[in-house]
Amino acid sequence: MTENDHKASPQAEALTALILSLFRVNNLTINWGDRLVAPLGLTSARWQILGAIAYADRPRPVAWLARDLGANRQNIQRIVNDLHKDGIVSFTPNPHHKRAHLVVLTVKGRRVYDEALRLYVPRANALAEDISSDDLEAARRVMDVLKIKLEGNGDAEEQV
């Protein structure tokens, strides 16, 4: 093993700086979202799950929601169960699986989600101000590439 084996490439150093920024932005975003939707009885985690349900092309079981969100199924199940207790989601039979019910928004859930969006849009507009669409799109593309690599266990050691 040589000294160069422990020296990060310029790209790896830039990636490390990006990841550290992502951690900070993630935490700030969660806290911001929690404050935004707290009056609706939501947290960022609950809101994120409602969004996954609302934007899905068809009802999904919890395991699919977890996969879509890149999250742990047990954590999503716990939150979905809480949302169910609050009357925000309901379970419907899954024609493809007897035990894995489909999760759908209730009328109350749709109303809560729509209200969250009403609160979100003006704040998103304010956050996006002075950031070019091209820069935001470039950032999203980088995030998509990292997501794909990490989903494929993008560990360079495994790929060599």
Helix/strand/coil (H/E/C) assignment for every residue in 16-68? HHHHHHHHHHHHHHHHHHHHHHHHHCCCHHHHHHHHHHHHCCCCEEHHHHHHH
Whether the pLDDT of residue 129 is over 50: the answer is yes
> Chain-wide mean pLDDT for the chain?
92
- What's the pLDDT score for residue 2? 63
Fold of 9-146: Arc Repressor Mutant, subunit A (1.10.10)
Whether the pLDDT of residue 96 is over 90: the answer is no
Percent of the chain scoring above 90 in pLDDT: 83
- Lowest-confidence pick of 11-20, 33-42, 91-100, 137-146: 91-100
Angle between helix 73-85 and 44-55 (nearest 10): 90
The whole-model pTM stands at: 0.83
Question: Once rounded to an integer, what is the mean pLDDT over residues 75-98?
Answer: 95
- What's the pLDDT score for residue 160? 38
Q: What is the CA radius of gyration of the chain?
A: 19
Is the Cα torsion angle 101, 102, 108, 109 positive or negative in sign? Answer: positive
Contact 52, 69 (CB under 8 A): yes
State the Cα–Cα distance between residues 9 and 150, nearest whole angstrom.
19
- CB atoms closer than 10 angstroms to residue 136: 11
Residues paired with 60 in a beta bridge: 103
Question: Once rounded to an integer, what is the mean pLDDT over residues 69-78?
Answer: 95
